[in-house]
Each structure stands twice: as C-alpha cells, then as structure tokens.
Amino acid sequence: MSIALDATHDPKLRSWVASANLPGGDFPIQNLPLAVFRRAGGGENFRCGAAIGDCVLDLGALDMLSPFGGLGAEALAACAEPSLYRLMALGREAWSALRRGLSECLREDAPRAAELAAALIPQSGVEFRLPARIGDYTDFYTSIHHATAVGRLFRPDQPLLPNYKWVPIAYHGRTSSLGVSGQQVRRPQGQIMPRGADRPQLAASARLDFELEVGVLIGTGNGLGRPVPIAQAESHVFGLCLLNDWSARDLQAWEYQPLGPFLAKSFATTISPWVVTLEALAPYRLPWSRPAEDPQPLPYLDCGELRAHGALDLQLEVALETAAMRARRAAPHLLARTNFRHSYWSIAQMVAHHTVNGCNLVPGDLLGSGTQSGPTPEQAGSLLELTAGGKRPLRLESGEMRTFLEDGDRVILRGWCERPGCARIGFGEASGSIV
C-alpha cells in the first residue's frame, strides 16, 4: 500500500520549464499528473499529456523523440493514444517507470532540454476530455460528518443508520453524463413532492447542489470472482482527481427510498482533467485510524499497511462564481475548505469492499469518495449542509444570497497537498456552470 520515496519526490528538484519552479504552483516537477488533451479549436486528435508548470508535455510527440528506454519507453508508447486506458492497464511498475523517465527529462540539467521543449504546449491553449472511457462509476459515502449532517436533515430521530460504521456505503452511478472540467450543466427536472401536497409534480429542480468529492481512477483490474485483498488494493489505483457529483436535492428527497439516488444524481458529474498518481502523493501519507469507541473494521477491511499510511493529507475547497461576479470580474466566493484526511473510509477500503463479492473492476473505472465534509460547519462539502437544507441562506461577498445554485452559477473545486519540506502537489480545478 505504501510507495517509497525516491529521487522523483526530492523537494529540491527543479525543472528547465521555469514556470514549474514558481512557489505555490500546482504542477512542479514532483507532480507530473496526466490528462488527455489537444490544442483548442484546431480539430487535432486528442492525445495524452503531462502537466509541468503552466504547460502540457505532449507525450505523443515526446515518444517520437525516444527520450528513454526499457519499461518507461513501453509506458510512454501507450501514451501516444487518445486515452490513458493502455497505460492504466500496464500496472504500477510501468507507471513508476514513466514517472522516473519524465522526471529525468524535465530536470534542469537534462541534456536534451532544448530538443524536448518542442513537445511543450501552453495549458492556456488546450482543451481536455475524460482521461479514458469510464465504463463504470460507483459513488461512495465515506465522510461520516457529511452522512451525519445530511441524516439529521432527513431523519432527525436517527441521523446515522446502523450499517454506516460497518460497511462502505455506495451506489452505482451513471457514466454517460460524466464530463470534464468546464462542463455545462442543464438544470434537471423530475418528480418533486411539494411540502404539504398529497401528490408529486413534474418540475425543474429548485434545490440544485454540488458535492465536493475525490475521484479514484482504477488502473489494473481484477478478474471476475477474484476479490482484491486490502493490502493490495492501492496497487490497482492509477490515480486521483477532483469530482463534483451534482445533486438535485428536491428530486432526491422524494425518490431516494427505498433504492437510493436516481434522477437526482444521473444528470451530470464533473471531474478535473488531471489525474494525480498515488506515487506523486506519497509524501503526504498519514496513518489511518478509527475512534476507539467505534466498531473496528472487519478483517477484510483492515491491515497493518492501512493503519500505518492509509490516509492522505489532501486539502479540498469549493468556491462559487455567480453571473454578477463574472460580469464585474470579481473573485469567486470561497464556500468551504476541508481535508480528505477526515474520511471515515479509505481508498483501499473502497476498492477492497467493492470487489469482496467478486465484482470485477477494469481500467478506467471511477470511484467517487462521496461528499467530503469535515467536523466543523465551515468544512461542509455541499450547500445542503452549509445552508441547513436551505433554512440558513448564505450571504456572498458580492451581497448576493444563496440557498441552492441558481442559473449562471459556476462551481469551482480545487485540491492540493502542501506542507514544509515537501513539494506542493496540486490537482488543478474541476469547474462546472449551471446553464
């Protein structure tokens, strides 16, 4: 489960790409996240790229220059396609070899820097698409703080159901409506039961919400009928991204019993374009623990590696930009900031539980963490919590009020890892607008 630190993590490393060395940036040489991109507006084919500073390193163009050999070269060749699928399927050794090769190519003393610079494209001039064809999407419910707060709104007498502390709860989501950052979301309609009414009506959602989540992209899969042991679970994880599971709370309140989310969730999900590998996040590992007074996980969800370094110190935030702010070129309003370390269930536990019944995961499958809320009110990852179900409207810095999202609103998710003595590892952003 743990990944040893090596030369690619050295905080003293600098790149010949000057923008990668600026303090506070998301994409230093120690990060090297991957995405699928092309130049905007030109009709080019999509291909794989790595972020370095404010540029994208075109991995297809880099492959033609044969900058390194061995397993790294095989991994680089897999990146000449319009999808990360082939690379995902190669496994952790190949991912690590590619990371080492890219790191050596981009260091400030790299002998072929001038030649390789031809493969750089400014990020400001590219467009992205999903990193791979996502065959299946499962959304978990791993934040006990979110589960308790939402449960208190829906079930005041029993906020947290008795199975929550024993089993990682999840539902199977819709992949056809997944989109990459910049997605335009049309306000959904569905059945809504108005307060005090005796029959539902078909209407557009008036309680549209975001959910601040972490996405987990599967690399190598497991065979049908072959569960993944928890100590091996993270070797199947290619990397992480940001995820916004848009939610229509009025549709959800009427339809969620007895089988859970349906139309309230299936209309849109937005992820960030950059996939940050678990290897890049290795310096930010933390011990995972469960409060002593809570039930401890069943054996298939517990192991020494999990306890030693199964959590991540990943900071998350969500901001809102209204149409009025945009017109005045005002900065978005910060709504909440929290940390993935507060998650009750870990990445490894999600994978182990998902496969314990024999379910087969395949390269490109996506797992959502569920809304990541922290223990304090200002760390809530949804408007449902921040406004107490709409009872306490938020006043934005622009003077506008919000209970739920309005047309023209743009929601921006950001994530990063940062602490003294380590390079900052950023995720970029996942944004989406209500049109």
**Domains of the chain with CATH codes:** 7-129 (2.30.30.230), 137-434 (3.90.850.10)
Q: How far apart are CA 212 and CA 339, in angstroms?
A: 11
Can you tell me the mean pLDDT for 135-158?
A: 93
Written as six digits, the tokens of 413 are 């998710």
Instruction: Please work out, in degrees rounded to the nearest 5, the angle formed at the alpha carbon of residue 430 by the alpha carbons of 403 and 189.
Output: 50
Percent of the chain with pLDDT over 70: 100
Give tens-digit pLDDT for 150-178.
Answer: 999 888 888 999 999 999 999 999 999 99
367 strand-pairing partners: 138, 216
Residues noted as catalytic: 146
Q: What is the three-class DSSP state of 88?
A: helix
Q: How far apart are CA 132 and CA 72, in angstroms?
A: 20
Average predicted confidence (pLDDT) for the chain: 96
Can you tell me the mean pLDDT for 195-212?
A: 96
Can you tell me the mean pLDDT for 140-159?
A: 92
Distance set, CA 22 to CA 53, 54, 328, 368 (Å): 8, 10, 29, 31
Distance set, CA 378 to CA 146, 341, 385, 397, 431 (Å): 12, 16, 9, 16, 20
